[in-house]
Amino acid sequence: MRVIEVLQEASLRVYNNVKHLAGTEESGGDFGRGAGGDISRKIDIVAEKTVLDYLKEIKFDCTVLGEECGRVELSKNPKGFIIMDAIDGSTNAVRGIPFFCCSLAFATDNKLSSITDSVVMDLSNGEMYHAIKGKGAFLNGKRIHANEKKHFYFVVGLDMSGISQDSLQQLAPIISASNHIRHFGAVALELAIFARGLVDVFVDLRDKLRITDVAAGYLIALEAGGYIIDKSGKFLDSDLSYKSRISFIAAANKEFLDDIVKKLKIR
């Protein structure tokens, strides 16, 4: 079984196991703080257990880095890391806002840049995004591309939840220049819809994201032809550590990227 098929099957099982939970009272609750630092909800726990049970069932040799469960060694000879945010957009999932996903990536080394396979499954409708390094990004098996059109960017994704006053100030020129700002509340799925060409640039300068939030969407966005840089203008990379906090700028093409970089004054 190929790695991508393992991720696809795991996310499909999550979809089937949480379908009935989204938007119900039962989906919430407080199950203590997970490894990523947020309160774990029932739906997070059910989804993570689904992935872990499946990986154990097929004896997949890996180390899991989960948003709630933390680091779980499933083998003495791991082939690599599964970076798991079994429910990204937990607040949406519990409220019943139809924008949340399962985000799974496989990395051969301790770096975001060593991710070779990833899947983001939209749990509100079962749409499956995947990417394989060097082979492209796909939605339900069909190739997708970030918006390659050269006209000015139009739909801008901004995650501003809990942003500092300084970073908000830095974003001001973009906010003023854009009539179509969007923030949906699940960063992995936001990167996937960026990769599909529905959003032209996506910016998160909060220094709050964890590797589990970003990993799967990162490869999908890159394989769709997008650019992703960090706050200092370098190609985005990070250690696969729970301490890492990530900010990024994703742009569908070089023209968009150059304009955003100019507006944010980061080079």
Residues that bind Ca ion (CB under 5 A): 85, 88, 213
Positive or negative torsion for Cα 202, 137, 99, 47: negative
Which entry of ligand IPD, Ca ion, none binds 90, CB below 5 to 8 A by partner kind?
ligand IPD
User: Contact between 94 and ligand IPD (CB under 6 A)?
Assistant: no
Q: Please, which of residues 30-59 interact with ligand IPD by CB under 6 A?
A: 38
User: Of the ranges 76-84, 89-97, 174-182, 236-244, which one interacts with ligand IPD (CB under 6 A)?
Assistant: 89-97
Between 232 and 261, how does the x/- string for binding to ligand IPD read (CB under 6 A)? ------------------------------
Which entry of Ca ion, ligand IPD, none binds 185, CB below 5 to 8 A by partner kind?
ligand IPD
Minimum Å distance from CB 61 to Ca ion? 25
User: Contact between 203 and ligand IPD (CB under 6 A)?
Assistant: no
Token couple for 192: 């996937």
User: Contact between 185 and ligand IPD (CB under 6 A)?
Assistant: yes
User: Of the ranges 15-23, 140-148, 168-176, 181-189, which one interacts with ligand IPD (CB under 6 A)?
Assistant: 181-189
Question: What distance in Å separates the CA atoms of residue 213 and residue 234, rounded to the nearest whole number?
Answer: 20
Question: What distance in Å separates the CA atoms of residue 202 and residue 73, rounded to the nearest whole number?
Answer: 34
Question: What distance in Å separates the CA atoms of residue 95 and residue 103, rounded to the nearest whole number?
Answer: 19
The one among 11, 90, 124, 253 contacting ligand IPD by CB under 6 A: 90
**Secondary structure class of 202 (helix, strand, coil):** strand
CB atoms within 10 A of CB 58: 11
Residues shown for the chain: 267
Positive or negative torsion for Cα 189, 208, 158, 29: positive
Contact 102, 24 (CB under 8 A): no
Residues that bind ligand IPD (CB under 6 A): 38, 67, 85, 88-91, 159, 161, 185-187, 208-209, 213
